[in-house]
């Protein structure tokens, strides 16, 4: 988990994910994330783990407005529960989420991170 913490701290300081919360959630939950040198950051996290990490790094709760949520409607005192409910409402398995992740992946690639492809959905 230390690698994920370092990653979130880095992109938060650099403002790389600002405006890309949906894509960030999709990447953290469903994609392989490495550094350019090949060091693995994550191979996918549970919603609970993502919520815990966003709480730990004190991610701006107003970011949920990017996914159409009002922060005032989420649990104000329990940040882990706040983020868990935001993730549940974000529909991170949607095509829109995958497209948002692809856009963020381009930004992260320039910053020294490699985001793997999204999960494949079988047709039929």
In order of 1, 15, 75, 114, the CA distances from 44 in angstroms are 11, 22, 25, 13
Tens-digit pLDDT profile for residues 69-117: 999 999 988 999 999 999 999 999 999 999 999 999 999 999 999 999 9
Share of the chain above pLDDT 90, in %: 91
Mean pLDDT (the chain, rounded):
93
Give pLDDT tens digits for 57-67. Answer: 999 999 999 99
What's the pTM? 0.93
Is residue 121 pLDDT above 60, yes or no? no
CA dist 76 → 55, 85, 102 (Å)? 12, 11, 31
């Amino acid at each position: 988990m230390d690698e994920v913490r370092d990653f979130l701290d880095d992109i938060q300081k650099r403002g790389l994910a600002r405006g890309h919360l949906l894509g960030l959630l999709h990447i953290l939950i469903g994609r392989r994330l490495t550094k350019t040198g090949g060091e693995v950051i994550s191979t996918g996290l549970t919603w609970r783990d993502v919520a815990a990490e966003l709480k730990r790094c004190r991610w701006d709760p107003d970011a949920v407005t990017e996914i159409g949520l009002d922060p005032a409607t989420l649990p104000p005192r329990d940040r882990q529960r706040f983020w868990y409910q935001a993730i549940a409402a974000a529909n991170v398995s949607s095509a829109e989420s995958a497209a948002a992740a692809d856009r963020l992946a381009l930004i992260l690639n320039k910053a020294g991170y490699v985001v793997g492809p999204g999960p494949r959905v079988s047709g039929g």
